[in-house]
Amino acid sequence: MTDSTPHSSETPASGPAVGQDEWVARHAERRLIRGGPLAPMEERLRAVPWWVWLTLFVGVMCLLPAVTASGYVRRVAFDTVLYMMLALGLNVVVGWGGLLDLGYVAFYGLGAYSYALLDSDQFHVHLPAYVAIPVVVVIGAIAGFLLGLPSRRLHGDYLAIVTLFFLQLFQTIATNGDSIFGHNVTGGAFGIFTVKPLHAFGHNLVVQHQGVFAVTYYFVALGFFALIYVALRFVNLSRTGRAWRSLREDPLAAEAMGMPVNALKLMSFAFGAAIAALTGTIFASLSASVLPLTFYFVLLITIYTMVILGGSGSMRGVVLGALVIGPLLELLRDPNKSRIIFYVALIGGLVFAFRRSRRLGIVVAATLAFGFVCHAIAGALHHSWIAGSADGGLQHVVSYWLIIPKHLAGWIPPVSYVGVICVALVLTLVHGRLRLVLLPPTLYLAAFVWDNVMLTQPDPARYIVLGLILIALMIIRPNGLLGERRVEIV
């Protein structure tokens, strides 16, 4: 949408012509009116070409190492770039091709393992990057093509099952590959841990510099990301990209309009797989090791969440999704940051739900009051019930309000956990005043569970957050943040 001048501006005000969708024709005009004073700026932003945004984005990402010297932050940024690449690849298959591919991470794994075999001490093969990378990409594409062959006539659930089977197959081979006809190929469950960094012309790409994550790898990943982004953008706006999207919209119509649907599906599989394999190369060469379990459901779900959150089908969207989810999962590892995210999300959710109405104030006040009362009662019953705050920081502040027992009796976690789910379910069933009354105890219970149960087990908690994000998204914006596929209302 570059040209924003409405087509029908010359239409006289005498009213719409018969059969003409005036309402639709004046879409752009109305957007201007609604936009108020910010609208002209929005229009101007809209007119900025995509490559300017891309350059800006990559530029800002490049500045990150200048802002922080922390190896940890840089590593998280690097992982996020890998996530962005993976999300772009999945977007080809899911967002454009409309194919529910649950075997996607197997191609990532395949790429990582292929590189590991092409440049490690496993078989003492050491190919330079400019040979290894193209070879791995081709291997990925061929594997995608092969998976597509039996699957091309399937769609929906059936396709999902077959591709899931493929992921399992990959796992099995990788885990048991330490004795294929007596040869140790994949290193079994322990993987291959002698993978060399990318190297060319006798130079190694430094992984660590004085024990800290070296930033060169980050730049290499960013370079590949930009390359993939540009290439995919060009493909998307070509006949192939249009055909992919047509096939997502309506395979039968696409076929009847002269598009070879089966071949296009294979191509889409191969494309996604090649991108995943390329990303796998970078990952393996950086990690110096590959393990089977890295490439499993958790990662699959994470990438899907990114794609769905950002908006399946939109390249900017899935990059944004990766940019949000990647660091978020990292932050959630740390209980204190997790806590901050929880309360920010809670307050944000409340503001969104009540939109600054008076009820927002009532609910917040009631929740606070409810908490203080519970806290006082618990404290009066036994001191140890409220003596559990150890983390300092936000938890210390919160501990004046929230019950944080010193010792958590064994029955408390499951009961409170199930309790919060039940109350939340009840909340969706009741309406009006009852809901308003039930909300404060629910929020309090949720906070209790989060602080006492979830934060002691960061790992499941992180993925529960992913689930919650998806649920919230389903309710608020089913097409994702920047999704281009809209839910049709006719």
Partner 1 sequence: MADKRLEIKGVSLNFGGLAVVADLDIDVNEGEIVSVIGPNGAGKTTLFNLITGIYRPDAGDIVLDGKSLVGLQPHQISQRGVSRTFQSLRLFLNMSVIENVMAAAYGNTHAGVFRSMLRTPGMRREEREIREFASQRLAFFGERLMGYRWDQPAYSLSYANRRRLEIARATATKPTLLLLDEPAAGMNPVETHEIAELIGRLRDEGGYTILVIEHDMHVVEGISDRVVALDHGVKIAEGTFDEVATNPRVVEAYLGTKAAATK
Which of 220, 243, 322, 332 contacts partner 1 by CB under 8 A?
A: 243
Is residue 91 a contact point for partner 1 (CB under 8 A)?
Answer: no
Which of 106, 116, 259, 323 contacts partner 1 by CB under 8 A?
A: 259
Which sign does the torsion angle of CA 247, 252, 257, 260 carry?
A: positive
* Binding characters for partner 1, 261-280, by CB under 8 A (x = yes): x-----x---x---------
- Closest contact distance (angstroms) between CB of 431 and partner 1 is 32
Which of 122, 151, 246, 395 contacts partner 1 by CB under 8 A?
A: 246
Using CB under 8 A, which residues numbered 294 to 313 contact partner 1?
Answer: 313
Which of 258, 358, 429, 432 contacts partner 1 by CB under 8 A?
A: 258
- For residue 344 the two structure tokens come to 């920010």
Please count the other Cβ atoms lying within 10 Å of the Cβ belonging to residue 348.
Answer: 10
Which of 15, 19, 37, 182 contacts partner 1 by CB under 8 A?
A: 19
d(CA 121, CA 110): 18
Which of 32, 73, 207, 235 contacts partner 1 by CB under 8 A?
A: 235
Beta carbon nearer to partner 1, 120 or 246? 246
Is residue 47 a contact point for partner 1 (CB under 8 A)?
Answer: no
Which of 260, 348, 460, 478 contacts partner 1 by CB under 8 A?
A: 260
Is residue 257 a contact point for partner 1 (CB under 8 A)?
Answer: yes
Beta carbon nearer to partner 1, 199 or 233? 233
- Closest contact distance (angstroms) between CB of 12 and partner 1 is 13
Is residue 255 a contact point for partner 1 (CB under 8 A)?
Answer: yes
- Closest contact distance (angstroms) between CB of 433 and partner 1 is 39
Using CB under 8 A, which residues numbered 313 to 332 contact partner 1?
Answer: 313
Residues of the shown chain interacting with partner 1 in the complex, contacts defined by CB under 8 A = 1, 3, 6-8, 11, 17-22, 24-25, 27-28, 231, 234-235, 237-243, 245-246, 249-250, 252-261, 267, 271, 313, 484-486, 488, 490
